């Protein structure tokens, strides 16, 4: 709906106070979750074809440098690796020099090295003054890249704000984790502790006194972990731990 492809079921989408018109479509770029590229084209030809669809275009050489495409310009698009293909699709999304860029799960299926390389590209695009709307299921990715996030559950926004602030609001304390089997039987858990997925999670404002208490009751500290809650912890807390259909 924000991309102007599907009609809103209710409400109105405005961009800079105006309905989504041709001028809007000229000023946005979209990298879809899955995009079919024309067969029997090279990377160079694919860029040229998409650029021909717009009145305003980005500097092609600069775009090639930005997305690290120089070494594959003459390669058939059918022979690109996953990371190369995503870099080309990002370049296509930027070919009209858009002000607003939609990236729909751009790193799904990429290996860790390719994913982090792509993160660097997104950071570079953002530093150039572009506004990016990113859809992702990788919490680390959202935490790393986004200035502001919205967690959507069953079609509704259930949390919105700066990632670090949201985590602090829901997890004001440090979490101490240890296997459930490490806790002595018959001993009550500290107030506010949870049993989850075979683990015990204990939240503590002050870690050293809580560690001393855990040791005092005779818990096995071998596999104990102390961690700062992150966005994934927040997502699971708000949406639940059960597997969805």
CA distances from 190 to 72, 123, 139, 143, 207 (A): 58, 42, 29, 30, 13
* CA 93/CA 176 separation, integer angstroms: 43
**H or E element: which one contains 48?**
helix 43-51
* CA 194/CA 208 separation, integer angstroms: 19
pLDDT digits over 82-132, tens only? 999 999 999 999 999 999 999 999 998 889 999 999 999 999 999 999 999
In this prediction the pTM is 0.81
State the average pLDDT over residues 151-172: 90
Confidence of residue 204 (pLDDT cuts 50, 70, 90): confident
- Tell me if 234 sits within 8 A of 185, measured CB to CB: no
Helix (H, G, I), strand (E, B) or coil at 38: coil
- Tell me if 204 sits within 8 A of 174, measured CB to CB: yes
- Tell me if 77 sits within 8 A of 100, measured CB to CB: no
Highest average pLDDT, of 142-146, 204-208, 227-231, comes from 142-146
Give Cα 212 distance to the centre of its chain. 38
Query: What pLDDT score does 192 carry?
Result: 79
């Amino acid at each position: 709906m924000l991309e102007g492809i599907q009609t809103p079921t209710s409400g109105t989408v405005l961009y800079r106070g105006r309905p989504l018109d041709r001028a809007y479509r000229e000023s946005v770029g979209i990298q879809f979750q899955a995009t079919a590229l024309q067969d029997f084209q090279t990377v160079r030809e694919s860029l040229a074809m998409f650029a021909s669809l717009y009145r305003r275009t980005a500097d092609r050489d600069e775009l090639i440098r930005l997305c690290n495409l120089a070494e594959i310009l003459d390669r058939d698009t059918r022979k690109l690796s996953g990371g190369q293909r995503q870099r080309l699709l990002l370049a296509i999304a930027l070919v009209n020099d858009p002000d607003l860029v939609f990236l729909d799960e751009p790193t799904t299926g990429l290996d860790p090295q390719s994913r982090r390389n792509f993160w660097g590209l997104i950071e570079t695009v953002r530093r150039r003054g572009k506004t990016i709307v990113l859809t992702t299921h990788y919490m680390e990715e959202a935490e790393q890249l986004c200035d502001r996030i919205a967690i959507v559950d069953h079609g509704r926004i259930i949390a919105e704000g700066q990632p670090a602030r949201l985590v602090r609001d829901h997890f004001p304390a440090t979490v101490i984790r240890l296997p459930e089997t490490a806790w002595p039987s018959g001993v009550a858990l500290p107030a506010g502790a949870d049993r989850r997925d075979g683990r015990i999670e204990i939240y503590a404002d002050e870690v050293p006194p809580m560690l001393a208490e855990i040791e005092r009751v005779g818990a096995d500290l071998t596999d104990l972990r102390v961690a700062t809650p992150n966005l994934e912890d927040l997502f699971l807390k708000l949406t639940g731990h059960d597997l969805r259909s």
